[in-house]
Chains A and B, each alone.
Chain A
Amino acid sequence: SQTIHQWPATLVQPVGSPLSLECTVEGTSNPNLYWYRQAAGRGLQLLFYSVGIGQISSEVPQNLSASRPQDRQFILSSKKLLLSDSGFYLCAWCRESYEQYFGPGTRLTVT
């Protein structure tokens, strides 16, 4: 069966510090991968998606970036965090735009 992992689960970082969130998928190959951000009590904002290694589509211009160094690994990064980067970050995978499977999320607080 397929599983999706995200880490860390929670993170508190000062403004201006770098960020690296990792997402890995097991039990499937060549998945579509997605990064979302969810503000408290709000909907999901699509940040990046990838249909293959090295293929990244950015939805929102901001100080975040994403990379897919391996087929089942998706990394969200920032060189300098802003207060507005605080939120709940969710990674998801799917095949051929059918149902998405979400990881447990990372709660990021920028102080």
Chain B
Amino acid sequence: SQQGEEDPQALSIQEGENATMNCSYKTSINNLQWYRQNSGRGLVHLILIRSNEREKHSGRLRVTLDTSKKSSSLLITASRAADTASYFCATDPSRDDKIIFGKGTRLHILP
């Protein structure tokens, strides 16, 4: 079953602009994570935000979490060509060993 749902499915922006991706989920969670996948590669963990946190930063990444709305956003500031990739949110439903991934947002940074 799909827990997380990213929005938009695809996003193209100019280099230097900020990119915002959203994720909505259905059930209560322990934490929410964002991953990045370059074409044909495995996923790379970017950032984890716990259910009792509202915002977290890591370099050019800013993640917010609103548990009342069951949603999260990933902001990439000052985008670069190398940021072109697919971005996935993943949730850790409470009392479970599974991590459920969304369908991803394909981000394309235009030079």
Chain A residues with Cβ under 8 A from B33's Cβ?
99-100
- A75 lies within 8 A of chain B by Cβ: no
Q: CA of A34 to CA of B101 in the docked complex: distance in angstroms?
A: 12
How many B residues face the partner with a CB closer than 8 A? 25
The range of chain A's interface size is 20 to 34
B102 touches A100 (CB 8 A): no
Given A97-B92, A99-B33, CB of A105 within 8 Å of CB of B99: no
**A98, closest chain B residue (CB):** B48
A43: which of B2, B30, B41 is its contact (CB, 8 Å)? B2
**Interchain Cβ contacts under 8 Å between A and B, 28 examples:** A32-B97, A36-B101, A41-B106, A42-B104, A43-B2, A43-B88, A43-B101, A44-B88, A46-B99, A49-B97, A57-B97, A57-B98, A90-B42, A92-B42, A97-B30, A97-B31, A97-B92, A98-B48, A99-B33, A99-B48, A100-B35, A100-B43, A101-B45, A102-B43, A102-B44, A103-B42, A104-B41, A104-B42
Given contacts A43-B103, A99-B33, A100-B35, 15 further A-B contacts (CB under 8 A): A32-B97, A42-B104, A43-B2, A43-B101, A44-B88, A49-B97, A57-B98, A88-B40, A90-B43, A97-B96, A98-B31, A100-B45, A101-B45, A102-B43, A104-B42
- B100 lies within 8 A of chain A by Cβ: yes
Q: CA of A49 to CA of B102 in the docked complex: distance in angstroms?
A: 17
Per-position binary interface string of chain B over residues 68-79, scored 1 when its CB falls under 8 Å from any chain A CB and 0 otherwise: 000000000000
A105 touches B98 (CB 8 A): no
